[in-house]
Amino acid sequence: MRALTEQELHNLGMNIVGKKLQKLGYEFVAINSELKKHPQFVLYKKGEPTIFVLVKVSNNLQSPNDYDVLWMETFKEHAAKQNAKVWFAGIGVANAESVELPVFKDQPYYIAFDDFITITV
């Protein structure tokens, strides 16, 4: 068994978020799945402002929506210059047998993702 790398966990979270965004009817203007490069998704829907979606994957199933407030302030300034909205998607991913173990490739895992958090710009 091989543990998923940080990039593979991030890609898993990106796939979950991407599917939800498609169901909501958004078009992807840009997608960036590289770790620590933001935003991960730039969205378009006719009649709405541009939306930047930030995806953060962690092993925290209880509160996956925690984020670095200082970093978010910097990003909000960037979004304001682009007249864009900001959505945050915190995804918790954990091994199904024990949260103490890493998530292994091709093994069961739990996902904690309720919805997007709208960040006031």
In a domain, 63, yes or no: yes
The DSSP symbol for 84 reads -
- Please report whether residue 1 resides in a domain: no
* 56 domain-assigned: yes
From the number of C-beta atoms within 10 Å of its C-beta (0-12, 13-18, 19+), residue 120 rates as: exposed
Domain residues for 55? Answer: 6-119
Q: Supply the pLDDT for residue 77.
A: 94
Query: Is residue 111 scored above 90 in pLDDT?
Result: yes
pLDDT tens, position by position, 24-82: 999 999 999 998 888 999 999 999 999 999 999 998 888 899 988 998 999 999 999 99
CA–CA gap between residue 4 and residue 59 (Å, rounded): 12
Average pLDDT, the chain: 94
pLDDT value of position 121: 82
Domain count within the chain: 1
CATH number, position 21:
3.40.1350.10
Q: What is the pLDDT of residue 36?
A: 85
Is residue 105 scored above 90 in pLDDT? yes
